[in-house]
Amino acid sequence: MNPDEVRSLLSSVEDPDLDDDIVSLGLVNAIDVDAETIRLSLALGAPYAPHESQIADQVRDALADTDREIELTAAMPPGLHTDEEVLPNIQNIIAVASGKGGVGKSTVSVNLAAGLAKRGARVGLFDTDIYGPNVPRMVDSEDAPEATDDKTLIPPEKYGLKLMSMDFLVGPDDPVIWRGPMVHKMLTQLVEDVEWGQLDYLVVDLPPGTGDTQLTVLQTLPLTGAVIVTTPQEVAIDDAVKGLRMFGEHETPVLGIVENMSSFRCPDCGGSHDIFGSGGGEDFADEENLPFLGAIPLDPAIRAGGDGGEPIVRSDGETATAFQAMTERVANNIGIVRRQQASTHAKTTPEQ
């Protein structure tokens, strides 16, 4: 058995999203074969994404008859990123944004982060909302970050998430009246001086709207993609369009649209009521040709969970399932972005 034979077997493995097999796409970085083992490096970039696990399973199936141990590693091809990259130990940075305040952006950020951690990923959650940080409350974390001797910050952990929030630095009740340059300085410091360690995903909760902080984040962080949260009403959707344009201008891939507060399942009558209308988020996603990431019901347990500290995705039930499904779609879409990048890189870089 030689690497070419392995390559030929792998060409039966179709990528579930990119419409070709993994060999033609250039997603096989390296093959090493000896008497007992086949070691493969695949260009997979979204740890714990269902579609990437599926690719790994198909690879094992394709090589099952070789009678060798299969060792898989996932890595983006060297050369895809530069050495001086910001936050090199963080594989994927996801911004969660909304055009309008109060639509549930922080709720989605917290449950997305907790949902990814529940799947097994190493996750950080970064609340950049200077004017109304609420992530610490939502995960019930009162621990402040620890400062080390060389003045870096160790983020506190809760539910397996590493947390960072402006709240930790300014105190929850301090009024914050900062101007743009100050916001920029603070954010840069928070990015550079925090010891995140190795992370699969960093979820960044942006403040609502399209102002200074959002721009700074877009300019400072190498975002993998953005999730846009809206409620079904037209006003919220009009504002979401502005958010969308902002990411477009910075060439940040939009991973999709989440419709929050979609319908209300009445605990008394058992009926479903569309308080803010319904389907607006999905229609919007269709019109903009973007993935729809799911509808999250209006559920009093979300508020109770949010205010009491435990993200609802960690429990069971319809709403938790909706958040889990959303998390899986986000992870799958990150996988598409990363594999697409790797494939383009492989096809445009001559073999060494």
Ligand X SMILES: Nc1ncnc2c1ncn2[C@@H]1O[C@H](COP(=O)(O)OP(=O)(O)OP(=O)(O)O)[C@@H](O)[C@H]1O
List of residues contacting ligand X (CB under 6 A): 98, 101-107, 129, 132, 134, 208, 260-261, 296, 298-299, 302-303, 306
Closer residue to ligand X (CB): 26 or 306 = 306
Nearest distance from C-beta of residue 188 to ligand X, angstroms: 22
Shortest CB 216 distance to ligand X, Å? 17
Element (H, E) at 235: helix 234-249
Angle value at C-alpha 198, between 157 and 139, nearest 5 degrees: 20
Cα–Cα distance between 307 and 297 in angstroms, integer? Answer: 17
Kindly list the distances between the CA atom of residue 140 and the CA atoms of 12, 35, 156, 175, 263, in Å, as whole numbers in the listed order: 48, 53, 11, 21, 27
- Which of 132/160 has CB closer to ligand X? 132
Residue 80, burial from CB neighbour count under 10 angstroms (0-12, 13-18, 19+): middle
343 is in an annotated binding site: no
Shortest spacing between CB 112 and ligand X, in angstroms: 12
Q: How far is the CB of 142 from ligand X (least distance, A)?
A: 18
> Which residues are CB-contacts of 76 (< 8 A; sequence separation ≥ 6)?
43, 45, 338, 341, 342
Question: For ligand X, which is the closer residue by CB, 208 or 243?
Answer: 208
Question: Considering the complex, what minimum distance in angstroms separates the CB of residue 109 from ligand X?
Answer: 7
Number of H helices, E strands in the chain: 11, 15
273 CB neighbour count, 10 Å cutoff: 11
Question: Rounded to the nearest whole angstrom, what is the least distance from the CB of residue 159 to ligand X in the complex?
Answer: 16
The smaller minimum CB distance to ligand X, of residues 293 and 296, is found at 296
Q: Is 99 marked as a binding-site residue?
A: yes
100 is in an annotated binding site: yes
- Do the Cβ atoms of 33 and 2 come closer than 8 Å? yes
> CB count, 10 Å around CB of 239?
21
- Rounded distance, CA 301 to CA 276, Å? 18
- Residue closer to ligand X, measured from CB, 183 or 346: 183
104 is in an annotated binding site: yes
Is the distance from CB of 42 to CB of 55 less than 8 angstroms?
A: yes
Q: Is the Cβ of residue 42 or residue 187 nearer to ligand X in the bound state?
A: 187
Which tokens sit at 277? 């209308």
| Residue nearest ligand X by beta-carbon distance | 101
Q: What residues form the annotated binding site for ATP?
A: 99-106
Q: What residues form the annotated binding site?
A: 99-106
